[in-house]
Every structure is written in structure tokens, then in C-alpha cells.
């Protein structure tokens, strides 16, 4: 006796229902497309946090050291070092052995974009009544998943509702 469970007809989800199937291309369905977008945002998340943090450290202390980066992020130094190696490979930072980490133009540009986003998200959360400490935590995650349209909506809201 094995596998006696009743089995409905196959193709419970007709391919066409889920696949937008409008034209050519790999054409994932709308559903799948949504998740794909989120996945790619997720893979950029760490790069964004690092560039932002490096910019902050440079501004505050004139340099960004692996140890400081690691401490700020709450990870061990080898983890930070490995991430920096990836940033380097992707052309976002430069570094030489035993010296600090420096943003390239591309890295600085990313940092600036991320900082703006971060600020807007935090201000927005506070504006709708989220306590500052909680807003700080939530913004750290949310910031990587807001599209330009959503960011604009956030920013408009903050401007139009100065006080509560």
C-alpha cells in the first residue's frame, strides 16, 4: 500500500492563466514577474547597505575601515571583508591591503541614491505615526523595496503633512 491519495486532474493552474503569454520572451506571468523583481531587489540589498554605510563612515571619520564596517553592521570582520571584495569586483569600491575602503564614482552615486531613499522612508514612517526607533529598523529593510513611484508618493506625503 502506497500513495493512495486521491488525485485531481492535472494542470490545476492552466498555463495560460498564469503566463501572461502576450508576446515573445521568457515572459513570466505577472505573478512570477512580481517575485522576480523582489528577488533582484533582495540581491542588491547588501550592496546598497554597504555603500551607504561606507559613505557615512567616510563623512564622519574621514575613512571607512573594515572593522568599523563590520561593527556597524553587526557581522564579523571576515564577513565584511568578503562583502567588500564583492563590492570591489562590481566596481563600487577600491581598496588596498591593510588600508581602508573607498567608494568609486559608481559607488558614491549608489550611496547617494540610497541615502536619499533611506531618509525619505524614515521621515515618511515617522510622519504616519511610527515611533522613531521602530521606524529606523523598518526603514532599513523597506528602503530596498520602494520603487521610484512609491518613493515619490512617500515624499509627497511628507511634504503635504508637515505636522500631525
Partner DNA sequence: ACAAAGATGTAGCCTTGGCTTCATTTCACT
Partner DNA sequence: AGTGAAATGAAGCCAAGGCTACATCTTTGT
57 forms part of the interface with DNA (CB under 7 A): no
Helix/strand number for the chain, H first, E second: 7, 2
Query: Rounded CA gap, 49 and 141, in Å?
Result: 10
Asked if residue 57 lies in contact with residue 63, where contact means CB atoms within 8 angstroms, the answer is yes
**Which of 62, 98, 148, 149 is the binder for DNA (CB under 7 A)?**
98
16 forms part of the interface with DNA (CB under 7 A): no
Indicate which of DNA, Mn ion, its own copies, none lies near residue 37 (CB less than 5 to 8 Å, by partner kind): its own copies
With 0-12 / 13-18 / 19 or more C-beta atoms within 10 angstroms meaning exposed / middle / buried, residue 64 is buried
Query: Rounded CA gap, 110 and 52, in Å?
Result: 8
Vertex 130, ends 43 and 44: CA angle to 5°?
Answer: 10
- Helix, coil or strand: residue 102: strand
C-alpha cell at 3: 500513495
49 forms part of the interface with Mn ion (CB under 5 A): yes
Smallest gap from Cβ 157 to its own copies, in A, equals 6
**What DSSP character marks residue 14?**
-
Q: x/- string (CB under 7 A) for DNA, residues 37-56?
A: --x---x-xxx---------
48 forms part of the interface with its own copies (CB under 8 A): no
| Cβ closest to DNA, residue 103 vs residue 120 | 103
Indicate which of Mn ion, DNA, its own copies, none lies near residue 138 (CB less than 5 to 8 Å, by partner kind): its own copies
| Cβ closest to its own copies, residue 49 vs residue 103 | 49
Positions in the binding site for Mn ion (CB under 5 A): 49, 52, 118, 140
Amino acid at each position: 500500500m502506497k500513495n493512495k491519495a486521491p488525485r485531481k486532474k492535472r494542470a490545476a493552474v492552466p498555463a495560460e492563466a498564469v503566463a501572461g503569454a502576450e508576446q515573445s520572451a521568457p515572459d513570466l506571468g505577472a505573478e512570477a514577474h512580481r517575485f522576480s523583481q523582489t528577488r533582484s531587489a533582495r540581491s542588491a540589498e547588501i550592496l546598497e547597505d554597504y555603500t551607504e554605510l561606507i559613505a557615512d563612515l567616510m563623512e564622519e571619520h574621514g575613512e571607512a575601515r573594515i572593522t568599523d564596517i563590520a561593527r556597524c553592521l553587526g557581522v564579523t570582520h571576515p564577513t565584511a571583508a568578503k562583502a567588500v571584495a564583492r563590492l570591489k569586483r562590481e566596481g563600487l569600491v577600491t581598496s588596498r591591503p591593510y588600508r581602508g575602503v573607498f567608494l568609486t564614482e559608481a559607488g558614491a552615486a549608489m550611496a547617494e541614491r540610497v541615502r536619499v531613499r533611506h531618509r525619505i522612508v524614515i521621515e515618511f514612517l515617522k510622519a504616519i505615526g511610527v515611533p522613531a526607533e521602530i521606524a529606523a529598523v523598518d526603514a532599513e529593510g523597506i528602503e530596498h523595496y520602494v520603487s521610484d513611484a512609491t518613493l515619490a508618493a512617500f515624499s509627497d506625503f511628507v511634504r503635504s503633512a508637515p505636522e500631525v
